[in-house]
């Protein structure tokens, strides 16, 4: 198995000068990024179908994994609310060993297939949900069992793994194979495989949010304004979209109670009643001010 094999290139690694060790580690991180390139189309296909599912108001994003893979999955998911306004009520984290495993090892949890199946059943997953399973080996029993159970329940499944033709990739409707090969420290998939997973997860979730209309002109128009830094950023976003000075943008943001889409419409001159209709009834993507566009959740 590629992610577990030892590479003779690093057989005497512990005897190298520290600078050479760090340089080698840096190089393999770049190799990890390159490994994602071949999967761009696969990630795009998964994102398109996932966005279609998640347009339904009951659709949820479900991340499943164990160990490093599970922690990276959670890291990706928790950023979706502040960055894109994705509700935490529409997010499930299926981590082997539970959330305690985020801060420490829970021995044997990754082999617990029964708890994985129970997680899926108790969540009541259905055809509107999207399940993303992550495992460097592609064989982790917990993750594979969860993805199989989710598929049986009708959910859309995505599998991200570092070994070809493994159970996780075979179980998922959208397999994403990250061919990172051997690690500099044999079997330490927190390194090269983990980097590739982080990149793939970023690409997938961000592409989904773009397709759901939560990005406009490269700007985070559904961002949650939760501190002074983000308030300043929100003012700049409204000013850029509406083509107004920052003072006017700030006033519109006040009227909109920090809703960037609503504030952008108000700042552009749209009547506040019409703006409310567009954002909260039609779910405007702000493609064209003054008329509602494709509905969003």
Strands (DSSP E) along 213-294, which ranges?
Answer: none
Q: Are residues 80 and 180 in the same domain?
A: yes
Domain membership of residue 294 as a residue range: 213-297
In a domain, 2, yes or no: no
Residue 132's H or E segment, with its range, is: strand 130-135
**Domain harbouring 265, CATH code:** 1.10.8.1080
- Say how far residue 94 (Cα) sits from the centre of its chain: 14
Domain count, the chain: 2
Phi, psi of 61, rounded to the nearest 5 degrees: -100, 130
For the sheet containing 130-135, what is the strand order?
91-95, 61-65, 130-135, 156-161, 174-177
Q: Are residues 188 and 226 in the same domain?
A: no
Is residue 143 within 8 A of residue 133, CB to CB? The reply is: yes
Q: Are residues 29 and 164 in the same domain?
A: yes
Question: Of the candidates 257, 224, 199, 225, which has an alpha carbon nearest to the alpha carbon of residue 29?
Answer: 199
Measured from the Cβ of residue 50, the count of other Cβ atoms closer than 10 Å reads 26
Mean pLDDT over all residues of the chain? 89
Q: Which residues pair with 133 in a beta bridge?
A: 64, 159
- Each residue's pLDDT tens digit, 151-204: 999 999 999 999 999 999 999 999 999 998 877 777 777 888 899 999 999 999
- Each residue's pLDDT tens digit, 72-115: 999 999 999 999 999 999 999 999 999 888 888 787 899 999 99
Q: Are residues 205 and 294 in the same domain?
A: no
In a domain, 45, yes or no: yes
pTM above 0.75, yes or no: yes
Question: Of the candidates 217, 216, 222, 218, which has an alpha carbon nearest to the alpha carbon of residue 234?
Answer: 222
Q: Are residues 107 and 227 in the same domain?
A: no
Active-site residues, by number, are 79, 110
- Say how far residue 267 (Cα) sits from the centre of its chain: 31
**Domain harbouring 59, CATH code:** 3.40.50.10490
Q: Are residues 237 and 206 in the same domain?
A: no
The residue among 257 and 288 whose pLDDT is bigger is 257
**In the listed set 211, 241, 269, which residue is the last one of a domain according to the structure?**
211
In a domain, 3, yes or no: no
Q: Are residues 188 and 221 in the same domain?
A: no
């Amino acid at each position: 198995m590629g992610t577990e094999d030892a590479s003779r290139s690093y057989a005497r690694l512990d005897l190298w000068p520290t600078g050479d060790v760090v340089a080698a580690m840096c190089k393999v991180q770049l190799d990890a990024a390159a490994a994602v390139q071949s999967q761009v189309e696969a990630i795009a296909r998964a994102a398109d179908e996932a966005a279609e599912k998640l347009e339904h108001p009951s659709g949820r994003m479900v991340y499943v994994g164990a160990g490093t893979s599970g922690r990276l999955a959670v890291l990706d998911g928790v950023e979706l609310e502040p960055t894109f306004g994705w509700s935490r009520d529409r997010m499930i984290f299926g981590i082997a060993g539970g959330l305690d495993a985020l801060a420490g090892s829970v021995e044997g949890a990754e082999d617990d297939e029964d708890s994985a199946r129970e997680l899926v059943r108790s969540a009541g997953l259905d055809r509107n949900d999207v399940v993303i399973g992550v495992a460097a080996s592609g064989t982790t029993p917990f993750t594979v069992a969860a993805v199989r159970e989710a598929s049986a329940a009708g959910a859309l499944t995505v599998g991200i793994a570092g070994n070809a033709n493994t159970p996780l990739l075979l179980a998922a409707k959208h397999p994403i194979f990250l061919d990172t090969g051997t690690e500099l420290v044999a079997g330490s998939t927190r390194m090269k495989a983990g980097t590739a997973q982080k990149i793939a997860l970023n690409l997938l979730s961000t592409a989904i949010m773009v397709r759901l209309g939560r990005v406009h002109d490269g700007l985070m128009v559904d961002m949650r304004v939760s501190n002074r830094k983000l308030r300043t950023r929100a003012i700049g976003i409204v000013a850029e979209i509406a083509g107004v000075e920052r003072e006017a943008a700030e006033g519109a943001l006040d009227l909109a109670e920090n809703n960037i889409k609503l504030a952008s419409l108000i700042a552009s001159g749209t009547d506040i009643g019409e703006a409310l209709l567009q954002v909260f009834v039609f779910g405007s993507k702000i493609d064209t001010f003054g008329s509602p566009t494709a509905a969003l959740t």
